[in-house]
Amino acid sequence: MYIIKNITYKNNNDVFVLNISNNPTIKYNNELYNIDYELVFKYIRSLYSITEDWKEEYINTTEIDGNSWELIIEYSNDTEKVYSGKSSYPDNFDTFEELIYKTLNEVRYVLFKYWY
């Protein structure tokens, strides 16, 4: 089993990057946050639970100008697991996006508590 280095999610103009290193960070568009390992592991466990039955590609061929998305999981051996789509999504895609926003809100809340 290989260690995850980065998780990148792109959806049109939004980009979410979880960098797992000695000092893990989340970058969401132009915002950069430090994140603790407990939250990293919580996110990864949830992510695997959500994506375990996903196909690699979801394409709606009837729609010409649709929304494109991509999830890339990069491993320590320089391999990647890529999921992508254009105007088509896995059944539980809303749960996946909720996980991202929930994680961002947790990070922002911790930062807010620290400063105030």
Residue pLDDT, tens place only, 48-93: 999 999 999 999 999 878 899 999 999 999 999 999 999 999 999 9
Q: In percent, how much of the chain has pLDDT > 70?
A: 93
112 Cβ contact partners less than 8 Å away, ≥ 6 residues apart: none
Q: Which of the four pLDDT bands, split at 50, 70 and 90, describes residue 21? A: confident
Number of domains in the chain: 1
Report residue 43: phi and psi, to 5°. Answer: -65, -45
* Separation CA 99–CA 30 (nearest Å): 19
* Separation CA 3–CA 110 (nearest Å): 26
Q: Show the domain range for 71.
A: 4-115
